[in-house]
Structure 1
Amino acid sequence: MNVAIIGLGLIGGSLLRALAAHGHQLTGYDIGATTREAAAALAKATPTDSSADEPGAAGQGTAPTPGAWRVADSIAAAVEGADVVVLAVPLPALPQVVAQLDHFSGVITDVTSVKGPVRDLLRGRRYVGGHPMAGKEESSFLASDPHLFDDCAWVLCLEPETSLDDWLSLAALFTSIGARVVPAGADEHDEAVARISHVPHLLAAALANLIDGNPLAAALGAGSFRDGTRVAATRAELIAAMCGGNAAAVRRVLPGVVEDLGEYAGRLAEPDPVAALTPVLRRPGELRRGWPVAARVPVEVDPDREALLSLGRAGGWVTGVGGKVVGLRPETDRNGS
C-alpha cells in the first residue's frame, strides 16, 4: 500500500519505520527541516532487499520486503499518488494541514488522542479516525521505534458515515504491523481515553508537584512515585493539547476522581483511619489486579458495523483481516453477556 505520513514525531516516525519494514511504499513529511533531514538520513542508512526485483521473487509466500522511504519537502508532494494519508500532527495543527488536502480523494486517518473534533473537521471526506495507544515521554523522530506498535491497542472509529471497506483496509494495514485494532465510536473513544489517559496525565502532574520545594521527599522517591508520575514528564504542550481537545469528557470524569480523594481524606479523619480506609481500597485493588484481562478467546467477527462495535465495547479487538475478520474478546464475555 502507498502511505503518506504527515508529521514525523514519535508516532508518525515510528509508523513510517514500521510500515516500511513490512514492505509498504512510504512517503513522509514534517514541517521541521531538521526532522526531515533526520528521517532522510535514516532512510539512506536503512538496508533494502533488492531480491524483490529478481524474477520469481514475488508471490512465493515470503515475508514482505523491507524497504526505506522517501521524505518529501511539502504536503502536496507527500500525498501525491498515496492510497492513505496518516495525519500525525498535534490536534491544534490539524486544520491547517487538512486545508492542504483538498485535492486528495483517498483515505485519511490520524493518530490524535481525541476523535470527536477530528471527525467534525473531516466530515464529508473518506476519514477513519485512529488512535494508537502507544507512546513514550520523548516525542521526536529520534525517539521513533518500528516496534512501538507491537501488541498495542489501535482504535479505529466506526461512525455511521464511515466506509466499512475503508475501515477494513486500515484494520488490515495496522494489524499487519502487530497492533490490536479496537473498533469504537468517536464519542465512546473520547470518554474512554479521558478515563485511562487524559485524567491520569493530570493526576501525574499533580503528584509530581508533591516534590516541589521538598528535596527530602524527592530523595526518597521510589517505585510508587516513579510509576505514578511517569507521564508528567511528557511535554506540557502535548498534555494540554490532548486534555484541552477532550475537555468535555475530561471534565465529566475528573470530578469522580476528586470525589474519591475526598472520600479517602474523610476516612483518614476517622478515629480508626486504618479500619475506615481499608473497605474503600478493596475494589480499586481488585480492578487493578484484574487488569489486563488475562483470559481471552478467539472469535470470528462479521464484517458488519454493529458486530465490530460490539466487539470493541466488550473489551475485544481485531487481530487480523483477510478472508475473515478474526479477533479476541474477554473469555467472560464470549457469549455477549
Structure 2
Amino acid sequence: MRCARVADVNVAVIGLGLIGGSVLRALAAAGHRVSGYDADPATRATARTAAAQAHSSARWQVTPTVRDTVARAELVVLAVPLPAVGGVLDQLADAGYTGLVTDVTSVKTPVRDLVAQRLHRPPRRLAGFVGGHPMAGRETSGFGATDPALFAGCAWVLCLEPRDTSMADWLELAALITPLGARVVPTTAAEHDRAVAAVSHVPHLLAAALVSASADDPLAGTLAAGSFQDGTRVAATRPELIAAMCGGNAEAVGPALDAVLDALRQARAAVDAEDPIAALRDWLAPASAARGAWPHRPGTARELPARVDDLLALGRAGGWVTAVAADRRTVTAVRPLRPAPA
C-alpha cells in the first residue's frame, strides 16, 4: 500500500526528560517543526545548547513558557510525570490551546480522566486527545540521556477508546509515529494499564525488592553478577518516577503484584519440599518455556481496515501497525507468530 506522508507538523513537547527530549529530537530529525519546554531552567539551557549544535535539518527551539511553546502548535506532546499532568493541562487551558494532544505517560486512565476534567469543557474544547505510551526507556534520565533513535523497534501504544477517540486523530498520530521506527499498538487505556502493570510496573518493584534484600551484605555486593544486574537494572530509576507510575496505576498494580507474590509463595513452598530440586524444576519449567519463546517472531505484514474494532482486535492479539495508508482507509498490520502449545 502507499504509505501516508505526514506533512511537516508544528509540534510542542512539554517536558524534556529522557522520553520527551527523545521525542523532540526524533520529530525534529524527521523534518517537523518542534518546540520544547521544561519547567527546569537548567534542562532548558541544556536542550537549547544541544539545539544550537544540532544539524540544521534536525534543529528545534526551546521556549521560556508553556504559552510560547504551544503558540503555533498543531500537536502538543505531554511528557511530564503523572503528578505534573494536571498542572500542565491547566496551563494549556490558560494559553487557549484547542489543538490535538497526546502524551507519553506510563499510565493512561488517569491522564484520560484529567484531560476530560481540565480541557474538555466550555468555553474551549480540544480538537482531540489520544493517549500514548512509547515502551522505551533507560534507567538514566534527563535531556543528556536523550536519543532520537530511542523509539526504533519499540512498541508505542496509542489509545483507541471506542466512544471517545477520533479515528482521524488516531491515524494522524500513527502516521506521525511509525516513520520513527516505532510499532504502534492500538489498545484502550484500561487494557494498557492492566498489561503494563504486569510487564513494567511490578518489575520495577521487584527489582527494588531484590536490591534491598542484599544491600547490606558486602559479600553479596562483590559476588553479584549477570543475573543480579539483569534483574535489577530498573531499580536505579529515580524513585519519584517509579512511585508515580506504580501509584498512579495502583488499581492494576495491586492484582499484578498479588500474582507475583502468589508465584513466589509457590517457589517458597517448593524450597521446603521433600525433594526441593524436583519441585523447583516443575515450578520453573513453564516460565522457562514462555521466556524462551519471547519475543514472538512477527508474522507477515498485511493490510487491515482502519476501523476501531479491527484495530483493537489487532492490539489484543499482540499485533501492531507499521504504516498508515495515504487515504487513511487501511493500515499495514503485523501479528506475532505464537509458538504451538507444548
Q: Does 1:18 align with 2:21?
A: no
Assess if the C-alpha contact under 8 Å between 2:296 and 2:338 holds in 1: no
Q: 2:281 matched to which residue of 1?
A: 278
Measure the CA separation in 2 of the matches of 1:295 and 1:237.
35
Q: Secondary structure at the match of 1:122?
A: helix
Measure the CA separation in 1 of the matches of 2:185 and 2:133.
10
Q: 1:205 matched to which residue of 2?
A: 208
How well do the aligned residues superpose, as a CA RMSD in angstroms? 1.1
Assess if the C-alpha contact under 8 Å between 1:82 and 1:106 holds in 2: yes
Q: Which amino acid aligns with 1:31?
A: A
Measure the CA separation in 2 of the matches of 1:161 and 1:150.
29
Q: How far is the alpha carbon of 1:295 from its aligned partner?
A: 4.1
Assess if the C-alpha contact under 8 Å between 2:323 and 2:332 holds in 1: yes
Q: Does 1:218 align with 2:221?
A: yes
Q: 1:107 matched to which residue of 2?
A: 100
TM-score scaled by length of structure 2: 0.91
Q: 1:303 matched to which residue of 2?
A: 306
The CA deviation string for residues 131-184 of structure 1, in whole angstroms up to 9 with x for no partner, is 000011111001111111111100000012111100000001111111110000
Q: Does 1:237 align with 2:208?
A: no
The CA deviation string for residues 232-266 of structure 1, in whole angstroms up to 9 with x for no partner, is 00010000000000001000111111111111111
Instruction: For structure 1, list consecutive stretches of 5 or more residues without a partner in the other structure.
Output: 49-65
Assess if the C-alpha contact under 8 Å between 1:299 and 1:329 holds in 2: no
Measure the CA separation in 2 of the matches of 1:315 and 1:300.
16
Is the alpha carbon distance of 1:141 and 1:5 closer, same or farther for their aligned partners in structure 2, counting shifts above 3 Å? same
Q: 1:142 matched to which residue of 2?
A: 144
Measure the CA separation in 2 of the matches of 1:2 and 1:136.
27
Q: Secondary structure at the match of 2:297?
A: coil
Q: 1:36 matched to which residue of 2?
A: 44
Q: 1:79 matched to which residue of 2?
A: 70
Measure the CA separation in 1 of the matches of 2:291 and 2:58.
41
The within-5 A match list for 1:297-336 is 297-323=300-326, 324-332=330-338
TM-score scaled by length of structure 1: 0.92
Q: Which amino acid aligns with 2:217?
A: N
Q: How far is the alpha carbon of 1:332 from its aligned partner?
A: 4.6
Measure the CA separation in 2 of the matches of 1:330 and 1:150.
18
Measure the CA separation in 2 of the matches of 1:141 and 1:121.
26
**Identity score, percent:** 54
Q: How far is the alpha carbon of 1:322 from its aligned partner?
A: 2.5
The CA deviation string for residues 64-105 of structure 1, in whole angstroms up to 9 with x for no partner, is xx3311111000110011110000000000111000112111
Q: Which amino acid aligns with 1:304?
A: R
Measure the CA separation in 2 of the matches of 1:234 and 1:279.
34
Assess if the C-alpha contact under 8 Å between 2:15 and 2:80 holds in 1: yes
Match among 156, 159, 164 for residue 158 of structure 2:
156
Instruction: For structure 2, list consecutive stretches of 5 or more residues without a partner in the other structure.
Output: 1-8, 121-125
Measure the CA separation in 2 of the matches of 1:224 and 1:101.
45
Match among 49, 54, 57 for residue 46 of structure 1:
54
Q: Does 1:128 align with 2:145?
A: no
Assess if the C-alpha contact under 8 Å between 1:132 and 1:155 holds in 2: yes
The CA deviation string for residues 168-223 of structure 1, in whole angstroms up to 9 with x for no partner, is 00001111111110000000000000000000000000011122211001100001
Assess if the C-alpha contact under 8 Å between 2:25 and 2:58 holds in 1: no
Q: How many residues align?
A: 316
Match among 290, 294, 316 for residue 291 of structure 1:
294
Q: 2:81 matched to which residue of 1?
A: 90
Q: How far is the alpha carbon of 1:267 from its aligned partner?
A: 1.1
Q: Which amino acid aligns with 2:103?
A: D
4+ aligned runs moved over 6 Å, structure 1 = none
